[in-house]
Amino acid sequence: MTALAPETPGNPGKPGSPGSPGKPERPTGPGAGLAELGRGYLDRVRAGELGSLPAVAGLVVLCAFFALLRPVFLSNLNFANLLTQSAGSIAIAMGLVFVLLLGEIDLSAGYASGVCAAVLAILLTNHGWPWYGAVAAALLTGAVIGLLLGTLVAKVGIPSFVVTLAAFLGFQGVVLILLKEGTNVSIKDPTVLAIANDNLSPVLGWLLLAACATGYAVLQVRRSRDRRGRGLAGTPAALLALRIGAVVVLGATAVALLNQERSRNVLVGSLKGVPLVVPVIGALLLLGTFTLQRTNFGLHVYAVGGSAEAARRAGINVAAIRISAFVICSCLAAVGGVIAASRGNSVDPNTGGSNVLLLAVGSAVIGGTSLFGGRGRVVDAVLGGLVVAVIQNGMGLMGYSSGVKYAVTGSVLLVAAGVDAMSRRRTARR
């Protein structure tokens, strides 16, 4: 048997390798430039790896469209409303990403958030618990719900669609029982109410932006350095500067806009600053992204979503991964319930119901998470949630009815699912 020569830069033993007389390859070492990276990105897009591109493009087009027809869409008051209105659905959608990555579904996430919100309100108002105890109990309730659903799916073997559909119906009854068949429970705790109703001070908003921009820059530079250390293509300095500059410019524009006075009557009270719920969603985004991209658990989630049988043969505990994903999903549904209770100042039987689940699932799928498993990121939930919020908000400003808004949102979701199916087919053909 003839030993193969190592593939080193200058090894002529393999046609087409660097330094060989065969077909020259595109440079892939540390010297790869912006043009080469751009061509590589276009190649991936042609192969069907669209990622969040449709969501970002849709968000830009929708914002431009509504701003052109209704200039008030770009006002700082409407911008702040967009962020607070979408926060609850985005939190639930973040949890759904973990389940969708496995090729599963959780149809009960909306009413699970309602159950957790009811637990929060009852403990705060009827039993006088401190806010931290009530919030912890709501999160624990979410964890128990996720553990139950995950066990039925992973251990008993009932399809997730059936399990969560039954839970969707059952949790409606649980909410009615907890709220005594329709009682509205008001929330007066100032800390809980501040989550979705208060704002950071202007100075604190700038400090938060500086911390986020610095952290992003450090992570980008470290990631590029680590890739070069492993002999892979590092990110060119020009692209690093472009990414960091874009984050700084967009963040500074948003903070400057939100720090302007939004109150129509300053004598009644000042209203300015970044909504407090924004750093809450930002913290969940960072934690979820780190979990999926920087931990063994995250790698196992993608592996199970890609092929459960292959993951099992590789020694991954598939059942534990599935159960954990449902627990995370329900815990983030609990966070969404807390945000909804804070924004509404109360909890009633409609909390977590109506279109909450549909908007959350739509946010994850529109953002780029695949319904077939194995493809998606937590940031997809944020992008998709903003797209849905822009559609709802912009069409509301234009005077359209709820029926039209639902029809348009459903059409956008159908298009996103179709794009996902076609991109997967294209990737398979390649």
Query: What tens digit of pLDDT does each residue of 233-266 get?
Result: 767 788 888 888 988 999 999 999 999 888 877 6
Stated as kind and residue range, the H or E segment containing 332 is helix 318-344
Q: How far apart are CA 94 and CA 75, in angstroms?
A: 27
Question: Which whole number is the average pLDDT over 86-99?
Answer: 93
Q: What does the DSSP assignment read for 255-285? A: HHHHTS---S-TTT----S-BTHHHHHHHHH
Higher pLDDT, 323 or 79: 323
Residue 229 tokens, joined: 């250390």
Residue 344 tokens, joined: 């509404």
Q: What does the DSSP assignment read for 145-187? A: HHHHHHHIIIII---HHHHHHHHHHHHHHHHHHHTTTT--EE-
Residue 15: pLDDT over 80: no
* Cβ atoms within 10 Å, residue 353: 17
Continuous H helices in 372-401 = 378-397
Residue 262, strand partner residues: none
Average pLDDT, the chain: 84
Residue 53: pLDDT over 50: yes
pLDDT tens for each residue of 191-226: 999 999 999 999 999 999 999 999 888 888 888 888
Using left for φ > 0, alpha for ψ between -120 and 50, and beta otherwise, residue 352 falls in left
Position 369 confidence tier, pLDDT thresholds 50, 70, 90: confident
Name the residue with tokens 């919020």.
389
Using left for φ > 0, alpha for ψ between -120 and 50, and beta otherwise, residue 159 falls in beta
Q: How far apart are CA 160 and CA 158, in angstroms?
A: 6
Q: How far apart are CA 166 and CA 18, in angstroms?
A: 58
Residue 347, strand partner residues: 185
The reported pLDDT for the residue numbered 276 is 93
The reported pLDDT for the residue numbered 5 is 40
**Worst-scoring range by mean pLDDT, 15-24, 67-76, 134-143, 308-317?**
15-24
Name the residue with tokens 């329900």.
330
Closest CA to 146 of 372, 325, 405: 325
From residue 251, alpha-carbon distances to 66, 123, 311, 360, 402 in Å are 21, 38, 40, 25, 32
pLDDT tens for each residue of 257-268: 999 888 877 666
Q: How far apart are CA 240 and CA 95, in angstroms?
A: 30
The reported pLDDT for the residue numbered 70 is 86
The reported pLDDT for the residue numbered 41 is 63
From residue 175, alpha-carbon distances to 118, 140, 163, 349, 353 in Å are 7, 16, 18, 6, 10
- What lies within 8 Å, CB to CB, of 57 at 6+ separation is none
